[in-house]
Structure 1
Amino acid sequence: MAVASPAIAQPTDPVDTTVCKAEEDALERDIDLARSRGQMLRRQHLAEAMAALQARCKTVTPEQSRAARVERLEQAIRELRLELSRAEEQLRQLKQ
């Protein structure tokens, strides 16, 4: 009986991996779209969903996950600085 259980579980692993990869690809597209539209909050929620998906699917190693988080945070900082700069410019124009 113990031998039958792992054999049954094996065929579902590629399907799970395929499903996880498809979901990850969809989230990446949504993140890129949100980033291009300046939807910072949506992008952040999607990034959190991506992290949860990767944890559930175990698709990345801890080093890759850490590097990806660092990159996402750096990108978020750049976008926020750009957004702040634009807001400051609008404020200057209104004060004139």
Structure 2
Amino acid sequence: FEDVPKAIIMHRTEGMIKMAIHPQTRQILGVHILAPNAGELIAEAMMLVKNKNTIDDVVNSLPMFPTLSEAIKIVALSFTKDISKLSCCI
């Protein structure tokens, strides 16, 4: 969460999100969230899996700023881009 502006504002950047995707379809198969505020993100992650969304669906979404759900978008972006080179407001 060290790249998530809302987590930085809250001084709670510890934690991680791990996303498993299908290599050909890029469908999100599972999401693991380990963080102090994981409860705020679990429902969103569950819906991504249930609705068979792809990482492209997440990348093309527009999360509110600043929110912790930006973390899910950053994880999806990390499959195709070097997130260390992105601006703060993805």
Shorter-chain TM-score bucket reads 0.3 to 0.5
**Which one has the bigger helix percentage?**
1
TM-score normalised per structure 2 = 0.35
Structure label with greater radius of gyration:
1
The higher-RCO structure (CA 8 Å, 6+ apart) is 2
TM-score normalised per structure 1 = 0.33
